[in-house]
Chain A
Amino acid sequence: MTIELSLYAVLVVAYFLIVLRLLNGILTRLFQSDLVTYAILGLGLVVTQGVLLEWVTSFILNRLKVERVE
């Protein structure tokens, strides 16, 4: 359980570093210059993150033996 929680903590920290630091500038510039591309890229990012995070959290919760509804 300690290994899985540590893995999750590392993933969350890495995610925050990548998203908050890298994407902040890119998204701000795009928002100011091209709203259509900003909207499409935003939708893509949100959907991709949705699918990826579901996969990661499911994997970790399964490893922690937390039972799901299914």
Chain B
Amino acid sequence: MEFHVAGVTVNPLFLVGIGFLVGILGGFFGVGGGFIAGPMMFWVGVPMHFVVGTDLAHMTGKSIVAAKRHRALGHVDIKLGLIMVLSTIAGVELGARIIEALKTTGNLDVVIGSVYVIILLIISGFTAWESLRALRMIRTDSLDIKDAVGFKGIAQRVHGIKLWPMISFPASGIASISLWIVLAVGFITGLLAGSLGVGGGFIRMPLLVYAVGIPTHVAVGTDLFEIMFSSGYGMLTHAIKGNVDVLMALVMHTGAAIGAQIGAVSTRFFIGPRIRLLFSILPLIGALLVLARLMNGAVTHF
């Protein structure tokens, strides 16, 4: 079927399949799944600027429902989420403007594709290494699995930065942290959302756990709360710039609605470091898909 807005021909069932996969990821890992949906769309020939905008659009509807569910479970730190939203939106807007600038130079696919590959490989390697380290700690030191974070030292060092103003997040068990650290996390992930078309969860979640030092289950819920704003604002600004195929986003979302239900049920079987170890494989798959398209330039048709 031809999607006239994006100017590509893609089987809608393939898009439903992508939605289904990222829906499972969203429910299971608490991430939007854009880091795997984006590479898959690029792989089948969707232009990169439409990948970015449409990916954000399809995540918007899904994230509202997911965030509401995690809020009901008490897994969202509203204060932390609302503060991060301010810098997240600034980051998203900057990212969208970078895309516009790259569109005019004609280097969009190569630049954004390469950034995708580098970031996904780093995230995959780091998360796998940390999770294995944390699992070893559990075995040797008998730590509570929910509290086992292989990089606890980083959070302690971050909390030691006394850059005024300091702020507390009782819901996340944080007595004092510099406001600038929180804003920086929001801005970085917003920038990634606006320029790569991802919700930013694949980097926000590790940052919230390792750098800010909040429990994994609160990081998952707060991350989804943030994705709601980053993808919603990102969709609007990208649509106004002509980077969103709404129809494609709607089709992808039909699969995501079912996948999210299955993913949410599955989370009970994996907690703490085991979630993060599984999570590490996904960015690697995304990186390989983008590399495949960049290396031979060929589009895989479905």
Contacts and interface: CB of A to CB of B under 8 A. Distances in A.
Interface of A: 12, 15-16, 19-20, 23-24, 27-28, 31, 35-36, 38-43, 45-51, 53-54, 56-58, 61, 66-70
Given A50-B65, A69-B267, A24 B250 contact: no
Contact of A57 (B1, B58, B246, B257): B257
Contacts of A48: 61
Given A15-B254, A20-B1, A39-B236, A46 B261 contact: no
Given A27-B5, A69-B264, A42 B249 contact: yes
Contacts of A47: 60-61, 64
A49 B268 contact: no
B18 to A, nearest CB: 16
A53 B249 contact: no
14 contacts: A23-B246, A28-B5, A39-B240, A42-B235, A42-B249, A48-B61, A49-B250, A50-B253, A51-B64, A66-B265, A68-B264, A69-B264, A69-B268, A70-B72
A42 B257 contact: no
Contacts of B249: 42, 46
Given A16-B12, A23-B250, A39-B239, 13 more contacts: A19-B247, A35-B241, A36-B240, A42-B239, A43-B239, A50-B60, A50-B65, A51-B64, A53-B61, A53-B254, A54-B257, A56-B257, A69-B267
A47 B265 CA distance: 23
Contact of A54 (B65, B235, B250): B65
A43 B116 CA distance: 26
B98 to A, nearest CB: 19
B297 interface: no
B239 A19 contact: no
Interface residues of B, number: 37
A46 B242 contact: no
B251 interface: yes
Contacts of A15: 254
Contacts of B287: none
A1 B64 CA distance: 28
Contacts of B12: 16, 20
B261 A20 contact: no
Interface string B64-93: 110001001100000000000000000000
A41 to B, nearest CB: 8
Nearest to A39: B239
Interface in B264-279: 264-265, 267-268
A20 B258 CA distance: 19
Contacts of A40: 236
A16 B251 CA distance: 8
B293 interface: no
Contacts of B1: 20
